[in-house]
Chain A
Amino acid sequence: MTDKIKKMQDTVNGIMSKYPASAFKGRKGHVIVVDHSEAPQEMVADTRTVPGIITERGCTYAGCKGVVVGPLKDTVAITHGPIGCGYYSWLTRRNRGRTEKPEDHNFLAYCFSTDMQETDIVFGGEKKLQKAISEVVEIFHPKSIMICATCPVGLIGDDINAVAAWAEKEYGVQTIAFSCEGYKGVSQSAGHHIANNGLFKHVIGTGNALKGEYSLNILGEYNIGGDGWEIERILKTIGYTIMSVMSGDGTVEQLKSAHKADLNLVQCHRSINYVAEMLREKYGTDWIKVNFLGIENTIQALRDIAKYFGEQSLIDRTEAVIAAELAEIEPEMEKYREMCKGKTACLFVGGSRANHFQGLYSEIGIETVLAGFEFAHRDDYEGREVIPFIKANADNKNIENLVITPDPKHYRLLLSKDKYKELSQEMSLNYFKGLIKIMNDGNIVVDDINHYEMEQFMKILNPDIFASGIKEKYVIHKMGKLSKQLHSYDYSGPFAGFKGAVIFARDIAMGLTTPAWSLIKPKWKQDTHLEGSYVYVEEVI
């Protein structure tokens, strides 16, 4: 163990020692100091949140309605419950969607709720839900409807599946019910799973769209700040066909034919790996773990995809596009790199982004000293090799595990056994290595960080940037540090691909150099200088 690792370990122990005994027990395994000599290091993740600790996590409903189902633009998602849940998950700016033709449906600007009242809780809300569906069908003529359940629905026993069946029969409109009550599971991750199961069972495989050349599904891409559009732009320039996107700017219509794609790309491993695996089991389609955040990562992804198909013309086209894109962005990137280099960042986001953004940061000379996820599972930290060892518990057993068998008509394997073996050595084929492996010794990994731990790490690590979400944004600003929202991008973006990398670099450079920082001097910052060196004296002079 090096001095750096040991020192960091002592610091972490100090922070944890402040907890009451039961909370200490609950939090202990969630924070590790990276030490590759000890690999594989084990994380505790996807466990229940400690009550009263100010967690950044959301609920199962949020994962299902807010993350996966919500961004599908051509479907009407009805929240069955009291008004708050629907209101809070109303998508407005985060996910973007566009329609090709004026007659195409785009319901992203809408929020539908049954606004349950006390009487509905007492007497049941099924009738109200039925009426709501009737009204929605009459006014909007959607091609599909998604019913998302909230806490009281499960408690009072409303049978939303029966209502969905009724609606299909009555109106001939596909209606899918999601039992995603907020109290199920330990975080929004359970909601992703429930949503994905529902879409896999009822939507994927029901369509018959023509398959284009080199056809791909982009899974786990939610088009935050237009990321999906930049990714599509690059892929289409090279010559790929996008069969479907799950689910940013996505449609139920496209999703129906997702089973026909040649290859699946997995961007957010956490929220979508189940779908990728089920597609492989049922249709034989392989998946590659890609990361379109960061220039190097994007290039790697593009080369992997081309290599999977293996045709020289495609590989050549890929290289030509990479060269052209790089030539366009490099001069500007260099400018921002000069402004950012040597800084440090903490990343606490979702279930994949704390991993995805590290490349982007390092490309502008910023080291990630702490990274962690809100709702990731052990495989997101340790890699997929740990999956067989993850213990089943009351919470994860709670979520339906679909039993999949190969589809007799559509099952096909694109690669020979030898080719598969060869490619597995060269790329993340049906595999994801997780977060810990990309971090440096002495860096910190935290699962399900809370307000207290965040404050402590801010003081000790003194990073230049803390990247997270809106809930943490202003506490970071109050500490005199730059915050960067990586859930909604502070209304900026895209950050993906080549052009996105420049926007990201510009945002960070602008954030680090905004004149306000030079006008403030938080006390604990001054203290560091006093203890440390001559820097303080210089400033005074």
Chain B
Amino acid sequence: MADKTVYRSATENPFHICMPLGGIMPFKGIEGCMILVHGAQGCSTYMRRLLTEHYSESLEIGSTCLNEKGTIYGGEKNLKQGLENIRKVYNPKVIGVLTTCLSETIGDDVERFAEEYLADNDCGDLKIVTVPTPGYGGTQAEGFYVTARRILAKLTQPAPKHEKINLIVSHITPADIREIKRILDLMEVAYTLFPDYEETLDGMYRDEYYKIVPGGTALAEIEKMSGAAATIEMGLTVDPEHSPGQLLLDQYEVPLHRVPIPVGIENCDQFFRVVAKVTGKKIPEQIDKERRRLLDAMIDSHKYNAEGRSAIYGEPEMVYATTKLCLENGIQPVVVACGRGGNKLTALLAAEMEDCLEDVLVLSESDLADIRGISAMKNANVAIGHSKGHYLTEKAGLPLVRMGLPIIDRVGGQRLLSVGYDGTIQFLDRITNTLLENKQRTYRTQMYEKYYKGQRKNITLVKNSAN
């Protein structure tokens, strides 16, 4: 394995996004929450636009609309006015405040403003959770965990021990969350899943219109996460300082078990092993059947998968899981990349790739231009990542299996299922079928070029030598 960071000053066609964007999902994953972005109004508008396109859901995110005056005198007035208006119009249980480049650079003490606002007004049970998320401070992946951690830091209270476990998910799809819940219910495990944006970001048509969409982890549950028997957290690549599970361990001594996103048979095995061990529950026959079906699929598809050479990019946690899935199925990763913040991933993958027949380039800082170059050099035939990779298809003919966020040029990004044994089958099929489709499209030409044309050349050569 080779680790290389192609350092350039111009990021050309990036595939990572900014920190506050990642903070939206955890807030959408708690009950009765409204989000306020403290910065110029473009930040919230841009984020709403991107996420709306991905989830096909409306995202109500307020802005404190900082302008030139606010940047000079500070954003206190705007923030307090923003809180007031959100509270009056939407009556939320929680307001999540995310900061931006602007408010962090001018140095607003957002937490103090929020505390003052609560003290000065009769707000009932309203909670305000503030999160420092400057755009230059990290990517959306870090924004996700940092926000989840701040929510727990603010909303969890000391609680008596109980038998439930905490399940902290990574940035997976609402369909993935639904699958995790099905699995845990099947195992008869008592759990608190956090952040639960299954219904808020993959809504249904309802008879009544709700200003704040129902769903999300209940606040009463979050309060008691401190008393849980254990925490299982999806997040091998997460810095302990950003980890919500670490906070519960440090502050309330809730035992923490870190697992990868359960994509791929090994990651799933590990997930089930941990859940079974922590809860003492048996793995039900149904799950065993699903595992056997996955194995069956892996065996049946291996011939096609063995021809796969993948370029994988996205958020570290999903990139790790996807890379393992490829390795298990004989799909050779040729480049595995994070936009930024992939240092931990490099170390994690090093262990996995010891047996690889060829070097895999792992990039901890990169952009799609890097991926395009390396893919061409190393003959990749499939890319796995989000929609911005359509550029690889358009410019370099590399087919794309859509995965992650944003998926904005196809519908159903929020409904993609990839976790658990069943989800893994679906994800693997998407990859295998993309390889097949590509082969179907090109193999006659390739055969003709390689064998038929080649043969004719040989004949000519023979003739020549006879002369």
**What is A's interface to B at a CB cutoff of 8 Å?**
18-20, 22-23, 48-62, 78, 81-90, 92-93, 109-118, 120-121, 128-129, 131-136, 139, 150-152, 154-156, 181-188, 394-395, 398, 451-452, 455, 469-475, 478-480, 520-524
Residues in B neighbouring A185, C-beta threshold 8 A:
67
Set A52, A394, A395, A474: member contacting B84, Cβ < 8 A: A52
Complex contact B14–A87 (CB within 8 A): yes
- One digit per residue, 1 when the CB lies within 8 angstroms of any chain A CB and 0 when it does not, for chain B 1-40 equals 0000000111111101110110000000000000010011
Q: A20-B84, A87-B18, A184-B68 are in contact. Are A151 and B100 (CB under 8 A)?
A: yes
Residues in A neighbouring B209, C-beta threshold 8 A:
455, 478-479, 522, 524
Complex contact A83–B18 (CB within 8 A): yes
Q: A51-B85, A52-B85 are in contact. Are A394 and B68 (CB under 8 A)?
A: yes
* Contact segment of B48-56, B266-274, B295-303, B342-350: B48-56
Q: A20-B85, A52-B81, A52-B83 are in contact. Are A115 and B11 (CB under 8 A)?
A: yes
Nearest CB of chain B from residue A51's CB, rounded to whole Å:
4
Residues in A neighbouring B330, C-beta threshold 8 A:
none
CA distance A87 to B135 in the complex (A): 12
Nearest CB of chain B from residue A474's CB, rounded to whole Å:
4
Q: A87-B18, A114-B9, A522-B207 are in contact. Are A471 and B48 (CB under 8 A)?
A: yes
Set B69, B84, B102: member contacting A151, Cβ < 8 A: B102
Is B429 interfacial (CB 8 A cutoff)?
A: no
Complex contact B85–A23 (CB within 8 A): yes
Set B57, B68, B82, B88: member contacting A19, Cβ < 8 A: B88
Question: 23 A-B Cβ contacts within 8 A?
Answer: A20-B84, A50-B81, A51-B65, A52-B62, A52-B85, A57-B41, A60-B40, A62-B45, A82-B135, A83-B16, A83-B18, A85-B135, A87-B16, A111-B12, A116-B136, A134-B9, A152-B105, A155-B71, A182-B39, A182-B43, A182-B102, A395-B67, A522-B208
Complex contact B40–A88 (CB within 8 A): no
Complex contact A112–B12 (CB within 8 A): yes
Q: Which of B87-117 contact A (CB under 8 A)?
A: 88-89, 100-102, 105-106
Nearest CB of chain B from residue A481's CB, rounded to whole Å:
11
Residues in A neighbouring B53, C-beta threshold 8 A:
470
CA distance A92 to B82 in the complex (A): 33
Complex contact A56–B45 (CB within 8 A): yes
Complex contact B49–A88 (CB within 8 A): yes
CA distance A53 to B41 in the complex (A): 11
Complex contact B105–A49 (CB within 8 A): no
- Tally inter-chain residue pairs, CB-CB below 8 A: 242
Complex contact B89–A84 (CB within 8 A): no
Q: A58-B46, A114-B10, A479-B209 are in contact. Are A82 and B62 (CB under 8 A)?
A: no
Residues in B neighbouring A151, C-beta threshold 8 A:
39-40, 71, 100-102, 105
Task: Tally chain B residues at the interface, Cβ within 8 Å.
Answer: 77
Is B244 interfacial (CB 8 A cutoff)?
A: no
The 6 closest A-B pairs by CB, nearest first: A59-B42, A84-B18, A52-B82, A52-B85, A131-B9, A182-B40
Complex contact A520–B205 (CB within 8 A): yes
Is B306 interfacial (CB 8 A cutoff)?
A: no
Is B223 interfacial (CB 8 A cutoff)?
A: no
CA distance A430 to B292 in the complex (A): 74
Complex contact B62–A136 (CB within 8 A): no
Q: Which of B357-388 contact A (CB under 8 A)?
A: 388
Complex contact B135–A50 (CB within 8 A): no
Q: A52-B82, A151-B100 are in contact. Are A121 and B203 (CB under 8 A)?
A: no
Q: A59-B45, A82-B101, A186-B67 are in contact. Are A52 and B58 (CB under 8 A)?
A: no
Among B40, B68, B139, which residue has the most Cβ atoms of chain A within 10 A? B40
CA distance A141 to B13 in the complex (A): 17
Complex contact A398–B68 (CB within 8 A): yes
CA distance A111 to B70 in the complex (A): 30
Residues in A neighbouring B40, C-beta threshold 8 A:
59-61, 151, 181-183
**What is B's interface to A at a CB cutoff of 8 Å?**
8-14, 16-18, 20-21, 36, 39-43, 45-50, 52-53, 56-71, 78-79, 81-86, 88-89, 100-102, 105-106, 134-137, 139, 203, 205-209, 211, 339-340, 388, 390-391, 394-395, 409
Nearest CB of chain A from residue B192's CB, rounded to whole Å:
28
Q: A19-B88, A20-B88, A150-B101 are in contact. Are A115 and B14 (CB under 8 A)?
A: yes
CA distance A378 to B339 in the complex (A): 44
Complex contact B88–A135 (CB within 8 A): no
Set A55, A83, A155: member contacting B14, Cβ < 8 A: A83
Complex contact B65–A152 (CB within 8 A): no
Q: A51-B85, A520-B205 are in contact. Are A83 and B11 (CB under 8 A)?
A: yes
Set B17, B58, B68, B340: member contacting A87, Cβ < 8 A: B17
Residues in B neighbouring A451, C-beta threshold 8 A:
60
Complex contact B57–A474 (CB within 8 A): yes
Nearest CB of chain A from residue B371's CB, rounded to whole Å:
14
Nearest CB of chain B from residue A111's CB, rounded to whole Å:
5
Q: A57-B41, A62-B42 are in contact. Are A82 and B18 (CB under 8 A)?
A: yes
Q: Which residue of B lies closest to A451 (CB)?
A: B60
Q: A115-B11, A118-B136 are in contact. Are A88 and B52 (CB under 8 A)?
A: no
Nearest CB of chain B from residue A416's CB, rounded to whole Å:
46
Complex contact B10–A136 (CB within 8 A): yes
CA distance A469 to B52 in the complex (A): 10
Complex contact B105–A121 (CB within 8 A): yes
Complex contact B10–A135 (CB within 8 A): yes
Complex contact B14–A86 (CB within 8 A): yes
Complex contact A120–B136 (CB within 8 A): yes
Complex contact A455–B67 (CB within 8 A): no
CA distance A508 to B251 in the complex (A): 57
Complex contact A132–B10 (CB within 8 A): yes
Complex contact B136–A113 (CB within 8 A): no
Set B56, B64, B136, B339: member contacting A121, Cβ < 8 A: B136
Complex contact A59–B41 (CB within 8 A): yes
CA distance A479 to B100 in the complex (A): 32
CA distance A367 to B206 in the complex (A): 28
Residues in B neighbouring A48, C-beta threshold 8 A:
65, 67
CA distance A18 to B88 in the complex (A): 9
Q: A22-B81, A111-B12, A471-B49 are in contact. Are A93 and B205 (CB under 8 A)?
A: no
Complex contact A83–B17 (CB within 8 A): yes
Complex contact B85–A112 (CB within 8 A): no
Q: Which residue of B lies closest to A131 (CB)?
A: B9
Q: Which residue of B lies closest to A49 (CB)?
A: B65
CA distance A23 to B211 in the complex (A): 19
Q: Which residue of B lies closest to A487 (CB)?
A: B49
Q: A58-B41, A60-B42, A471-B45 are in contact. Are A112 and B207 (CB under 8 A)?
A: no
Complex contact B391–A109 (CB within 8 A): yes
Q: Which residue of B lies closest to A516 (CB)?
A: B205
Q: A57-B45, A84-B21, A473-B52 are in contact. Are A51 and B16 (CB under 8 A)?
A: no
Nearest CB of chain A from residue B209's CB, rounded to whole Å:
6
Set B46, B52, B64: member contacting A474, Cβ < 8 A: B52
Residues in A neighbouring B82, C-beta threshold 8 A:
51-52
